[in-house]
Amino acid sequence: MAYCNPSSDQKPDEMASMEVGNDNDVKVHVFSSSSELIEKLHEKWSPVKKKPYPAMYSSVFGGIVLDPAMMVIPIDDHMVHRGHGVFDTAVILDGYLYELDAHLDRFLRSASKARISPPFPRSTLRSILVQLTAASQCKEGTLRYWLSAGPGNFLLSPAKCPTSAFYAVVIADNVSQCKNGVKVITSTIPMKASLFATMKNVNYLPNVLSIMEAEDKGAYASIWVDDDGFIAEGPNVNVAFITNDKELILPPFDKILSGCTAKRLLELASKLVEQGRLKSVKTSNLTIMEAKGAAEMMYIGSTLPILPIIMWDEQPIGDGKVGDLTMALSDLLWHDMLAGSNTHRICVPY
């Protein structure tokens, strides 16, 4: 069973039940009972005052778990050893779930592309997620959920897995509006093929390597450019530009993930067009030269919701400062998250 490690500060000899002899041979402890193992798992969490994961749901367990030591998934789950799974996320803000339905619809589209049939209908999945959030008592953070081919064996094919598995966890975290700009680089890590980039699957190694590459160079994250030389996306976010003609442009979604927050921004941005602050709003291909010549640039993602970008490959974007239109768009999204209609916000029945 895989389990959540509460702290990265623990020493290796504290994390594993091992005894090292004088001859440097390792003697691995064998747990004699499940109760002994559970006691060990609880030891890992006992120093943690505020639990970062207040609740988890598992279809394998058939219910909600409030004890983080028990938030485990089977190691023979095909999502673990074959990466056959999809996931999605929704923000919890001020006791509301933002854009849950949009994310859940994308989640099921991803599942269809991955050829995983959910163990429950959409309405049940939605109800589980709302009940899980309520049980967590978390008013601010994120709700993340996965659908896997399920446990059953260690084969490549999931054909003999009895049923798919649905997992979800509430992550307590601060969600705030981003007002400071960041630096980015152009990633040299190959981006995913469109089939995999357009589904939100758990195979995130390219994404991880891409952001590690950026961090190695002192940047916040990176930008992917596709094989045709057009701007694609960030490692786990969409990217948008405001041209010198005051056009808001996002890359098309045909080769990248269809961002729920990005699509909501495209709807809300029409208000700035009506006010005359923006000329137009659209999706269109941009070359890297055109993109670097933009007046303003930003990342768009569920937990951001907008993050200004002020420098790219050590070159300033525009005047190298956070743009007024970027913050105007951020204000629109932030207001929508805090006080938008019930169509986009679900009140959690705590």
Active site residues: 200
The residue assigned the tokens 């045909």 is 254
Query: Rounded to an integer, what distance in angstroms lies between the CA atom of residue 55 and that of residue 50?
Result: 13
What angle is formed at CA 216 by the lines to CA 211 and CA 218, rounded to 5 degrees? Answer: 95
SS3 241: strand
Token pair of 285 as six digits: 């291909």
DSSP 34-84: HHHHHHHHHHHHTT-SS-S--EEEETTTTEEE--GGG-EE-TT-HHHHT--
Q: Classify residue 193 by its DSSP letter.
A: P
The dihedral sign for the CA sequence 144, 148, 151, 155: negative
The residue assigned the tokens 């989640």 is 107
Residue 209 region, left (φ>0) first, then alpha (ψ -120 to 50), else beta? alpha
Query: Rounded to an integer, what distance in angstroms lies between the CA atom of residue 82 and that of residue 38?
Result: 27
Q: Which amino acid is present at 71? A: M
Q: Do 51 and 45 contact (CB within 8 A), yes or no?
A: yes
SS3 244: coil
